Amino acid sequence: MKYRDIEKVLISADQINKRTDEIAKQITEDLKGEDVVMICILRGATLFFADLVRKVDTSVNFDFMEVSSYGSGTASSGEVRIIKDISTPIENKNVLIVEDIIDSGHTLSYLKRILKQRNPKSIKIASLLDKPERRETDIKGDYVGFVIPNVFVVGYGLDYDEKYRNLPDVCVLKPEVYA
Ligand code: PRP
């Protein structure tokens, strides 16, 4: 039923699970036993975040942040504002921003800039997906799950019109859904 608008599965739940294991292992190695504050960017990153935090093998604090970008249609204008800030102080802490997708890059450029102003010890980005063809900034993910082509994807946290976030896989919608 929940797959009725889906044309195909692009990345399966099994692939996501295996890749998240690899990313978590790399993050754990890079932290060398130090603590980390992992920040989930609402709402798309929630499922990736929930899986990733359980696989990272060090002491983790976590918090949530919501931002919105003003833009016309699906394109980001580059103007971003905070809807909900973290309440965790991050000065001298290792910070890992967790996102579902890097598209134009405006959201993460903004987030990295404002979080850096709080003087963390380190700041890195983990993103499940990366769409480099759409990039308008020079932001890069430190840990990227999958590089994908310029197709609109839903599932595993990602939405179209707030739907499909609960699909276990990253999927491509049927074109008529947009029509
Ligand atoms: C999406 C995604 C990223 C951002 C990426 O969020 O979760 O935060 O867009 O786009 P960018 O690289 O062009 O800035 P969205 O605003 O759709 O909110 P959501 O996570 O609640 O779905």
* Mean pLDDT, range 77-82, rounded to an integer: 82
Q: Is 119 a domain residue?
A: yes
Is residue 73's pLDDT more than 90? Answer: no
Rounded distance from Cα 101 to ligand 1 centre (Å): 7
Rounded distance from Cα 47 to ligand 1 centre (Å): 14
CATH code, domain carrying 34? 3.40.50.2020
pLDDT, tens digit (0-9, with 9 covering 90-100), for 92-132: 999 999 999 999 999 999 999 999 999 999 999 999 999 99
Q: Is 173 a domain residue?
A: no
Q: How far apart are CA 102 and CA 130, in angstroms?
A: 5
Identify which of 63, 12, 49 has the alpha carbon closest to the alpha carbon of residue 143. Answer: 49
- Percent of all residues in the chain with a pLDDT value above 90, rounded to a whole number: 89
Please count the structural domains in the chain.
1
Q: Is 154 a domain residue?
A: no
Residue nearest atom 6 in ligand 1 by C-alpha distance: 44
Q: What is the DSSP letter of 174?
A: P
Phi-psi region of 2 (alpha: psi -120 to 50; beta: other; left: phi over 0): alpha
Q: Does ligand 1 have an atom closer than 6 angstroms to the CB of 135?
A: no
Q: Are 115 and 124 in contact (CB under 8 A)?
A: no
Residue nearest atom 4 in ligand 1 by C-alpha distance: 107
pLDDT, tens digit (0-9, with 9 covering 90-100), for 150-178: 999 999 999 999 999 999 999 999 989 98
Q: Is 5 a domain residue?
A: no
Band of the pLDDT at 2, cuts 50, 70, 90? confident
Rg, Å, the chain Cα set? 16
- Helix 13-31 vs helix 46-55: crossing angle, to nearest 10: 50
Q: Is 164 a domain residue?
A: no
Question: Which of the residues are catalytic?
Answer: 103
Residue 23's domain spans which residues? Answer: 13-149
